[in-house]
Structure 1
Amino acid sequence: MASQASMTTPPSISPGSPIRVIATAGAVDASGLTKGTDLLAGVPYFLEVRQDLQTLLSVDMYYAGSDELRTSELLDALDEKGVEAIWAARGASPRGYGTARILYDGEVQSTVIQSLQSKPRWLVGYSDLTALIALWNKAGVLALHGPMAANIQTFSKAAVNATFDVLFATATATQEFQGSMRFNGSGGVKGRILGGNLSVLTSLVGSGLLPSYEGAILFIEDVNEQAYRLDRMLSTVLHSSDFRGIVGIAVGQLVGSDPANGRYTALELLDKTWGPLGIPVLTGLPIGHDALTAMPLALGAVGEISFEEGATMGVLKVEIPRTA
């Protein structure tokens, strides 16, 4: 594995501990939020859910309040004493994003990084939260690509349990996912799992928000993007200096991404982009936007893509160490 800066696993959450629900992206549905936070506050861990409903339920165009309000919500959560995890309420609205908008400011980036390095804690979210997860990883702290507070009740029981298993683990936790090998390269690879939603990652190129990808395994997933758009975005990412040095690619769910005429699947088009790289590409992982089957993934943790020579199937194994 290429040399990379070490990352910190946030301390395990204790039963009954406070978590803070925040909205940095799209406007939040009150009904979904209530159902989700009821689940988080229930058995088996009885979490204390702290939330500012006036802020969470604010609406400004497509967003959960103004940029200033969403920024304040994030920084307040990081400053709040006793909070052991920050849980995203939701991702983007169908017509807009939002999280990256409040993170381009260098002062905000510095404040978030300094806070996390002083007191690491879990962030849970996906989709538009890819931008904040990137900053978490840049600060050297793991984050969990997983169900959000306003939609966790739509995920499978297995996914919810797996989310809690990571957050409450007191010993090294292991995640394992099986997928299809598109390209084997010269053998298995090991590196930090970094990435998230491909559309958001593409928008972050050149922003200064991204961690170093040198020696990393790039993880991508997306929803409702046509195959040619996925190919264009992946080409942008792979030719950007921000992503230089990746050793493998792990592909999650590409929900609703095949072209309407059915001529070429997304993966068939993407083969032309990642094929020449000569690195292992593992596809079909159950991670992404399909709530019925999606599972959580610890981003920033060290993962390994392994497979037998010439095999059509491979495994992504992720280890989440505990320092205390």
Structure 2
Amino acid sequence: MDSVKPHALVPGDTIGITAPASWGDREKTEAAAAYLEQLGLSVKFGETLSRRYGYLAGTDEERAQELNAMFADPDIKAIICARGGYGTGRIADLLDYDCIRANPKIFWGYSDITFLHTAIRSRTGLVTFHGPMIICLTDKDIHPLTLKSFDQLIRPDRMVYTEKISPLHTLVEGEARGPIVGGNLSLLVSTLGTPYELDTKDALLFIEDIDEEPYRVDRMLNQLRQAGKLSDAAGILVCDFHNCEPKKREASLTLTQVLEHHIAAAGKPALAGFKIGHGSPNITIPIGVMADMNTNEKKLECLELAVAD
């Protein structure tokens, strides 16, 4: 699928905020979204912010219909997810991918939103953004770099990640180039065997997760390995595995041992330490953009803007 870039935003453009997974607090979401207005953008809130269906923000049909409507609405120029949680995999079959491809817009979120990033890329080629959601703006101790990530909405720039942001360490030496793909490890694994299966062929795969014990990370990486997703990749970026420590088992491999075992075995250039994901800061990374990764320079550099002029 050829890559399609979303249109860049200009001051005054409207951002749609929707909850395609779990429900949240509408009042807090509206208050947090005021930051987007400070950037010179307008905000339109979806009805999913007020809906509850068990642990979901409305039925599958309601959540999918709202996301489809936001892509179809010419007045909405970008879509940011209010929060993650669970549920995006349930609506993947209900999305209008022809409409999404015909109306390329910035689509932004992380965590459970990983399933939608993967599905949208597989069906449309649209470049999307793995970045902090509106719920992140409710954190009183939000990291300045997390907040700065939202600036990309109106001041797009080529992402360059070096040790000026966080310490990086080499797992496998080398250089690699390819489109960036990936996201939350649990969600990436959940795409396997579906029509939206993660494609890592000649790509830079990034992975992150939260609250998963090392044995669970081990299981998921083993599944990716057996599915050929690690060996297919051009390079691997290990991002934030927040609070992924042993809890139930006194005898456990460390997270580092698990990561090194599977990633070293893949033999692809690999860097670890990227502050991308559930930790703080949470740096935005564009999915589908060509990038270079160099372990000697300890650098990830996007080779192009993620938006069209």
TM over 0.5: yes
1:213-264: per-residue Cα shift (whole Å, max 9, x none)? Answer: 2100111000000011001101111221566621111011000102144853
User: How much has 1:152 moved relative to structure 2?
Assistant: 2.5
Letter in 1 for 2:53: D
> Out of 146, 165, 182, which is 2:171 matched to?
182
Q: Which runs of 5+ in 1 are unaligned?
A: none
CA distance in 2: counterparts of 1:294 and 1:262, whole angstroms: 31
> Out of 281, 289, 293, which is 1:293 matched to?
281
Letter in 1 for 2:55: Y
User: CA contact under 8 A between 1:175 and 1:297: conserved in structure 2?
Assistant: no
1:264-315: per-residue Cα shift (whole Å, max 9, x none)? Answer: 321212222222211112111010111x32211111111211022xxxx722
1:186-212: per-residue Cα shift (whole Å, max 9, x none)? Answer: x20111110100001111101111353
Map of 2:57 onto structure 1: 64
Map of 1:168 onto structure 2: 154
Letter in 2 for 1:137: R
CA distance in 2: counterparts of 1:252 and 1:305, whole angstroms: 14
User: CA contact under 8 A between 2:215 and 2:253: conserved in structure 1?
Assistant: no
Letter in 1 for 2:220: M
Map of 2:119 onto structure 1: 135
Residue pairs, 1:70-85, within 5 angstroms:
70-85=63-78
* TM-score normalised by L of structure 2: 0.90
Alignment RMSD: 2.0
Map of 1:33 onto structure 2: 29
CA distance in 2: counterparts of 1:284 and 1:262, whole angstroms: 25
1:125 aligns with 2:106: no
**Secondary structure in structure 1 of the residue aligned to 2:276:** coil
Q: 1:270 to 1:157 in 2, by over 3 A?
A: closer
Question: Would you say how many aligned residue pairs link Structure 1 and Structure 2?
Answer: 299
CA distance in 1: counterparts of 2:118 and 2:230, whole angstroms: 12
Letter in 1 for 2:169: S
1:302 aligns with 2:290: yes
CA distance in 1: counterparts of 2:2 and 2:71, whole angstroms: 22
Q: 1:265 to 1:243 in 2, by over 3 A?
A: closer
Q: 1:132 to 1:60 in 2, by over 3 A?
A: same
Letter in 2 for 1:182: L
Q: 1:37 to 1:69 in 2, by over 3 A?
A: same
CA distance in 2: counterparts of 1:173 and 1:262, whole angstroms: 44
Residue pairs, 1:240-255, within 5 angstroms:
240=227, 245-255=232-242
Identity %: 28
CA distance in 2: counterparts of 1:142 and 1:121, whole angstroms: 9
User: How much has 1:174 moved relative to structure 2?
Assistant: 2.8
